[in-house]
Structure 1
């Protein structure tokens, strides 16, 4: 296990009481259109239409351009002028965990492949990556199990996803590495004194294991779990609760996500969402509402440094 990353004093990760956000503070939009949400979750990777969301690569700063669909979609360079989030004025950052802090989707994919084949799903044939992206990645376990096995009772579904998570943790025990540029970005966040929370649909055991394995548990003031909210992502509740805990409004922070359900949750909470392409095609993430699409945190830091340089030159 890595030594804890130096993000300041170690803060506890509190267990939240189950809460239902009946009404959001002014400026937030917790409503979700079920038909739109279902369309987003089940959509195929259609062509990426440029609507102002940027796609980045290679540590340069970038502009949104049309891109072909599929896992091989190329990420275009972008221009600082179209950088959609002003990091120099925000007060907080909310992070998903799986696929955002660490590229863990390949391990989840493998665990689901194994267990689904064993229980005879799809005739015992392993699911492919397209199926995993469309129907599993980023979603809440009870919802996944209910969709995959509508004929099973709740106890059997629960046993299924608990087994799957145990398999994932065994695979992850071999070692997890932070997403490229994450440590540099977290240090920048620490130096600026920004408020932080980790917001995830992962079970508590998984989330705490990943944060500890990366050595970043002290970088987050709060850990908000979808399973401890009345509604998990893609509903906005986890992000609204995180905002309330930090005392911030959607316009004062930015959300980092990697899945359509996570992006939808952040957008529904009223926050700008930056999406990382660790497990999804850029087209799908843009369709879910991401304002900017990047490969990793190196891209984010490149844009921040360029913005800082510009601000210093005009000061």
Structure 2
């Protein structure tokens, strides 16, 4: 396959942050003597934009208040960030892309402040040609707009790109944009990822299926 771009989700794909996000939501919800479990998080929160998340959590609250609630939650999340490490194989594939002059982008629903903190904390920010933030667009994931925007920025056709996602919203977004999407087995089952539109399933970026599709081993 002739690859002209690699597009990466951030949370749960490049870095394992699900536990930190769940903790942050529960710290926020505790103010109302409420909580969410991991099942609710995976089905209704992971990868979705803030307006959908907070509409589900606070259906009786005016939507004008969602932004403030989201900002509080994200501050709680960033307060937990210590030394951060990418998931296995991230440096391998980013180095491969750099050596082969393949442009790469992050496509995320995370706020830019979070994205910057995570990418810089992992020491990989310099690898990326673009960081597309769903919340800065008219529509975030699961709409295809974030991925279509990344393709436009990188001037690449969807048929020559690969996307990597761990959430249902993210897989739906990338697949709807016409991109061959790898579902990451970070928190969901293979059947769920495939139903959402993932064409390939991998556990991390060292997976043989990924390197087989790329058609080359990473340069040594």
Structures share a fold, TM > 0.5? yes
The answer to whether 1:214 aligns with 2:127 is no
CA contact (8 A) 1:181 1:301 kept: no
C-alpha separation between the residues in 1 aligned to 2:117 and 2:29? 24
CA contact (8 A) 1:226 1:233 kept: yes
Q: How many residues align?
A: 217
Deviations 1:134-188 (Å, cap 9, x if unpaired)?
A: 111111112100122121013432221111100000111x121101111011111
Give the one of 101, 115, 140 matched to 2:49. 140
Find the counterpart in structure 1 of residue 60 from structure 2.
151
The answer to whether 1:113 aligns with 2:55 is no
RMSD of equivalent CA atoms: 1.7
| SS state at 2:20 partner | helix
Higher helix content, 1 or 2:
2
Shift of 1:118: 2.2
Shift of 1:289: 0.6
Gaps of 5+ in 2: none
| SS state at 2:207 partner | helix
State which structure, 1 or 2, has the greater radius of gyration over its C-alpha atoms: 1
Find the counterpart in structure 1 of residue 70 from structure 2.
161
CA contact (8 A) 2:202 2:209 kept: no
Find the counterpart in structure 2 of residue 254 from structure 1.
162
Q: Which moved more, 1:205-214 or 1:154-163?
A: 154-163
Deviations 1:78-124 (Å, cap 9, x if unpaired)?
A: xxxxxxxx3xx11111111111110111110111122123223xxx3
Task: Determine which structure has greater relative contact order: mean sequence separation of CA pairs < 8 Å that are 6+ residues apart, divided by chain length.
Answer: 1
| SS state at 1:151 partner | coil
CA contact (8 A) 2:47 2:168 kept: yes
| SS state at 1:297 partner | coil
CA contact (8 A) 1:234 1:261 kept: yes
Structure 1 residues 193, 268: CA separation in 2 closer, same or farther (over 3 Å shift)? same
| SS state at 2:206 partner | helix
| SS state at 2:178 partner | coil
Find the counterpart in structure 2 of residue 295 from structure 1.
203
Structure 1 residues 268, 306: CA separation in 2 closer, same or farther (over 3 Å shift)? closer
C-alpha separation between the residues in 1 aligned to 2:78 and 2:208? 29
Q: How does 1:1-315 map to 2 (within 5 A)?
A: 86=1, 89-120=2-33, 124=34, 126-172=35-81, 174-300=82-208, 303-304=211-212, 307-308=215-216
Structure 1 residues 306, 255: CA separation in 2 closer, same or farther (over 3 Å shift)? closer
